[in-house]
Amino acid sequence: MQLFSILIDVVGPVFLVAFVGYVWSRRGAPFDPRFIALMVTSVATPSMVIDSLSTSGLQTGALGAIALASLLCHALSLGAGWLFVRAVGQPTTVFLPALTFPNTGNMGLPLGMFAFGQPGLALSIGYYAVASLLQFTVGQSIAAKQIDPRALLRMPLIWAIAFGLFLALTGLQLPNVASRGLHILGGLMVPLMLLSLGHSLARLRFSSLGRGLMFSTARLFGGFAIGWLVATMLGLDGLARGVVVVQSSMPSAVYNYMFAERFGNQPEEVAGVVVVSTLMAIPLLPIFMWTVM
């Protein structure tokens, strides 16, 4: 019964909103993915980060532990993913990012909010912040075969995290007009992310179902195992443990496909991992979440 409740009450709304974006795209209705991506990354997400960090009441120690857990999960995923890709004889530039970087934004943040409430969303944002930094530096570097450290300074998320932590550490409060404005803008993040996810999935085309299944299975079960291992190593329990395990268990991020498309790394193959892992997540995520709820 609890598994069914998690599926309907927690996972269900996420996929329902994503499905609206999917149908919208399939019907050919107007949808500007570049505008949505820019709005999410430059306005909605930074606003949500500042609003959540400054009002969550979480101790900096808790956020620090989540950040460390995210770093360790990605490091272990990168190492294990490299070994797996080499073992099956596939190119690392194509499949390694898809195994390493899960969808902690479009799916992870809504699930964190629905499953664990506002405190869970705040911790999920901490995990997502580290994931984003790594995706746009390490992940993009793997796909491009070169490193661009300047990409960090161009990310609004970096400055939003710094400002949000400053408010949390000092106890300073923004004027009501600013805090309420940020709260409204931050509220755009979840629906826009999920609609964009559905729209992206509707446009993806992949070539190999077999490889998609193989790498999707590795991403989901490997991510769950790594999340559980890291949470145990760091002695995390309760809310923090749940967030780490759930975030680490997410399917492959859509950004992996975008980077593969941009740098010519067999985007159809990467699309297969993104689509198949997202579909596999529908029955698997409630089971993963049940273990920590």
Domain limits, the chain: 2-290
Asked whether the beta carbons of 139 and 255 are under 8 A apart, the reply is yes
Report pLDDT digits (tens) over 240-269: 999 999 999 999 998 888 788 878 888 888
- Residue linked to tokens 């509220």: 187
User: Exposed, middle or buried: residue 191 (CB in 10 Å: 0-12, 13-18, 19+)?
Assistant: middle
Residue 254, amino acid: V
pTM, whole model, 2 decimals?
A: 0.86
Instruction: Identify the CATH class of 2-290.
Output: mainly alpha
Q: Tell me the C-alpha distance between 40 and 186, whole Å.
A: 9
196 HSE (CA, 13 A, CB side): 24
Q: Mean pLDDT, consecutive 10-residue segments, the chain of 293 residues?
A: 72 90 92 84 87 74 90 98 96 95 90 88 88 85 75 78 82 90 91 86 79 96 98 95 96 87 85 91 93 88
CA atoms lying within 13 Å on the CB side of residue 123? 30
> How far is Cα 43 from Cα 257, in angstroms, rounded to an integer?
23
pLDDT tens-digit series, residues 133-147 = 888 888 888 887 776
Is 102 in a helix, a strand, or coil?
A: strand
- Name the residue type at position 228: W
Tens digits of per-residue pLDDT, 200-245?
A: 888 877 777 889 999 999 999 999 999 999 999 999 999 999 999 9
